[in-house]
Structure 1
Amino acid sequence: MIVNQAYRFALDPNATQMAALASHAGASRKAFNWALGLVKAQMDQRAAEKTYGLTGDRLTASVPWTLPSLRKAWNEAKGDVAPWWAENSKDAAGIRNLVRGLDAWRDSKSGKRKGAKVNFPRFKNKRSETKSCTFTTGVIRVEPDREHVTLPRLDTIRLHESARKLARRLEAGTARILSATVKLDGGRWYVSFSCEVDRQIADHARSDAVLGVDVGITHLAVLSTGDVIDNPRHLAGGAKHLRRLSRRVSRRVGPDRRTGQEASKRWQKTNADRSRAYARVANLRRDGLHKLTSALTADYATIVVEDLNVAGMVRNRKLAKAISDCGFATIRGLLGHKTTWSGGRLVTAGRWFPSSKTCSDCGVVKAKLPLRVRTFECDACGMVLDRDLNAARNLARLVERETGTGVAGDPEPQGFNGREADRRTPLAGQVAVKRPPRPGTVGRQRPTADRELTFAH
């Protein structure tokens, strides 16, 4: 199976190479801003002419929003706009990213693109924007020693870690490098190779079982098998060190745009230490989530998760930091592409599916289940079970009727103990049914019991 996969490695460039990397990132930002300024100027000019009643051919001609057209315009103007451009690779222009942003904005505005609204591209700032540059042509390779990489105009750069995972596939002919992106993250330069990989689908250890995964704060994940994955709380673990560094940064002389004051060397050094501390927390979280999702997708062919409203959950000021530290959206994204790679499938339950309020034994749905109640007690059949484990088993049962497979960890895989399902029983596919609003509630928030469902996991 041919899939697109990225391989990310840390770099150990010398002083000259670090300056060259920063120069390429600056060149990419310069080309991006110039092309965006050209597009905005032409759009504003045509909008002004339309107010005068001009139409059709009488309007000022504009450059099409295509990569060849904008690149041609940039090549004609770069001699005057950026006379230093010859020092960098010709592929360093960030116009490709601008074209993607313009296409996404246009499709979102017309309704062609689904999902959240995409705003018009903004100019990139030297101080706040992440320094990065993408190469699609030229010499891009991993050296035979697996400790160095070669990039256009940057020559050979030493790696901080071995690139054996990618090198093995390149040597075996099961991978092909499409592009390379260098990026400054947490005070360290990284290179990401976008590759086309031929992956072999392996057999799952439990291909006959469906796994439900309920994510939460107290426990990062509760599986329908009864296994509990503890939340490592990486941000909370590094909070003391981060607070100390933040206080130290506040005592230094930092930059001030209003007065034009530049940051002192001590501020820059301390701020870099704080950035590295944050990067370490992010790396620990990413590593743990990768290991968790890889283990789940290797064992189970079908995994069921919930479509959580994470953006709405973080609006709770008391839980925002803890929710952000878990990485709920990252878990779902990793499971999505890893199940594809392993030949499995990821089933997403609807946002309004009452996984916590439904009895996993008889299927009766409770009217209310506050967040403070951590044990589910069914009034119909008397079942008593941990709230999160009950939710995980309900998630697994969503596809049980479709596939005919059993729920992982369930001693009775028939589902609902073979009882006749009533109208309240969550059938397969009944995962996102939204009840009509009650009279007089239009424009108001949902009832408290429904709102608590968002944070019930």
Structure 2
Amino acid sequence: MRTFQAYRFALDLTAVQERVVLAHAGAARVAHNWALARVKAVMDQRTAERSYGVPDGQLTPSMSWSLPALRKVWNAAKAEVAPWWAECSKEAFSTGLDALARGLKNWADSRNGRRAGGPVGFPRFKSRHRSTPSVRFTTGTIRIDPDRMHVVLPRLGRLKLHESARKLARRVTNGTARIMSATVRRDGGRWHVAFTVEVERADRTPCRSGSTVGVDVGIKHLAVLSTGELVANPRHLTSAQDRLRALGRALSRKAGPDRRTGQRPSNRWRRAADRLAQAHARVANLRRDGLHKLTTRLAREHGTVVVEDLNVSGMLANRRLARHIADAGFAELRRQLAYKTTWNGGRLVVADRWYPSSKTCSGCGAVKTKLALTEREYHCDTCGLTRDRDLNAAHNLAALATAAEAESAAEVTTAGSGPVTARGANHKTRVRGQEAKKREPGTTPVGQTGTVPPQGRTTNRTLTTAH
């Protein structure tokens, strides 16, 4: 199986090398801002001409937003705009132009309804003080030295790594990996190089290929598994809150930049800002490391992993829980499971976000109309089952995948067709041109197939399966 994978390593740059990398990042920013100004000027000119009543055929010619078109326009004007262009690699300018082309395409697709998710705004100009320095190399000499402690990049030369790159070097030497690009970026006061690699991964099978595990994420426990395991929530941000407050107060006492008067920050302010950035980076690294260990273990041990389709952005609107929800990393956990289950030969099943996993009894299937968040134990009034709220939800998620497999097998036997995977959710929104009607429990939405009728239950379950 061929797939794309990223390898990220920390760099130990000298002062001269850091200035060269910053110059390349600045070149990318200059090309991005210049091209964005050209695009805005053409768009504003066409808008003004339309307001004057100029026919469409006589308007100022529109400007293409593709990367080749932007690169052609930049090459024609770079001698005048940036006389120093020869001091930097051409990949630096392509980095800024590529970022602009992607931003404009995402904005246009969002306006035309061709892009899922929330609305995407129009690209903004990049500031030297607020933007993250980054440059991407796609052509030229990109390799790892035989000592595996240095990398060679175009125009930057030989850069020392903070750690050994033996894992990537072994794959490249064996011919199971091919480096496609390299991105140098500064995060948390430290420089990193990230390689985008096309990897030939061996086919794997989970340790228990027939095992199904339901994963209910939360704040009290990071994850509750249907096997009964409780994964503790480390709360990295809460643990580091005192230190972050102290560093933030120390930063506020230093002479920082002032855009109104043009005052430049002092060296003490810069050092204090670096310490605060490093503290935040440490929290992010600890969170990422814990999530990777959990998701890798789940993907390697179980053949089927079931999670919920949580509305994380909506949950962050709760100001009392927003910081704890963001600290847990619900969306990152699901994202990692999506590709790791594929790598290990398993599958990820995503339950409909409207499926009441917490309100449904895992014993008899009865559904409660209301269940307060403060009720940490689920008590069924029908069968008398008493179980932890999160564990009950995890059992329901695991049963959801089992019911879907049984229905798919029945459909294959009766109709002779392949398994049917239900996609989409019963969103409570009004459809354009139609009158919104309340759907009765136990019925299938109009135009939607693949719902799983539970035994003795009155709620519909919609699944999305990632193979």
Aligned to 1:50, the other structure's residue is in SS state helix
- Deviation by residue 1:7-31 (Cα, 9 ceiling, x = unmatched): 1111111111111111111111111
Aligned to 2:275, the other structure's residue is in SS state helix
For residue 221 of structure 2, the aligned residue among 219, 222, 244 is 219
Q: Is 2:179 the partner of 1:206?
A: no
- Deviation by residue 1:27-47 (Cα, 9 ceiling, x = unmatched): 111111111111111111111
More displaced stretch, 49-58 vs 111-120: 49-58
More displaced stretch, 381-390 vs 108-117: 108-117
Matches within 5 A, 1:71-86: 71-86=71-86
User: What is residue 249 of structure 2 aligned with on the other side?
Assistant: 247
User: What is residue 394 of structure 1 aligned with on the other side?
Assistant: 396
Matches within 5 A, 1:43-442: 43-93=43-93, 94-404=96-406, 432-434=425-427
In 1: Cα distance, 2:165 partner to 2:405 partner: 40
- Deviation by residue 1:141-166 (Cα, 9 ceiling, x = unmatched): 11121111111100010001111121
Aligned to 2:155, the other structure's residue is in SS state coil
Q: CA deviation at 1:433?
A: 3.5
Unaligned runs of 5+ in 1: 406-427, 443-457
* Residue pair 2:204, 2:343 contacting (<8 A) in 1 also: no
TM-score, structure 2 as length reference = 0.86
In 1: Cα distance, 2:359 partner to 2:324 partner: 23
**Aligned residues: percent identity?**
57
Bigger RCO of structures 1 and 2 (CA < 8 A, at least 6 apart): 1
* Residue pair 1:201, 1:342 contacting (<8 A) in 2 also: yes
Q: CA deviation at 1:62?
A: 2.8
- Deviation by residue 1:44-75 (Cα, 9 ceiling, x = unmatched): 11111111222343111233111111101101
* Residue pair 2:354, 2:425 contacting (<8 A) in 1 also: yes
TM-score, structure 1 as length reference = 0.88
In 2: Cα distance, 1:85 partner to 1:326 partner: 45
Aligned to 2:194, the other structure's residue is in SS state strand
* Residue pair 1:349, 1:432 contacting (<8 A) in 2 also: no
In 1: Cα distance, 2:313 partner to 2:328 partner: 13
AA in 2 matched with 1:70: L
In 2: Cα distance, 1:404 partner to 1:292 partner: 28
* Residue pair 1:133, 1:182 contacting (<8 A) in 2 also: yes
Q: CA deviation at 1:340?
A: 1.8
Aligned residues: 416
- Deviation by residue 1:366-412 (Cα, 9 ceiling, x = unmatched): 1111011000111111111110011111111111023249xxxxxxx
* Residue pair 1:377, 1:383 contacting (<8 A) in 2 also: yes
In 1: Cα distance, 2:81 partner to 2:423 partner: 58
User: What is residue 439 of structure 2 aligned with on the other side?
Assistant: none
* Residue pair 1:210, 1:396 contacting (<8 A) in 2 also: yes
Distance 1:203 1:37, change over 3 A: same
User: What is residue 415 of structure 1 aligned with on the other side?
Assistant: none
In 2: Cα distance, 1:287 partner to 1:435 partner: 37
In 2: Cα distance, 1:284 partner to 1:83 partner: 44
* Residue pair 1:353, 1:431 contacting (<8 A) in 2 also: no
- Deviation by residue 1:223-253 (Cα, 9 ceiling, x = unmatched): 0100111011111111121111111111111
Unaligned runs of 5+ in 2: 408-420, 431-435, 437-467
AA in 1 matched with 2:68: P
Distance 1:172 1:359, change over 3 A: same
User: What is residue 17 of structure 2 aligned with on the other side?
Assistant: 17
* Residue pair 1:12, 1:157 contacting (<8 A) in 2 also: yes
* Residue pair 1:361, 1:383 contacting (<8 A) in 2 also: yes
- Deviation by residue 1:242-271 (Cα, 9 ceiling, x = unmatched): 111111111111111112222111111111
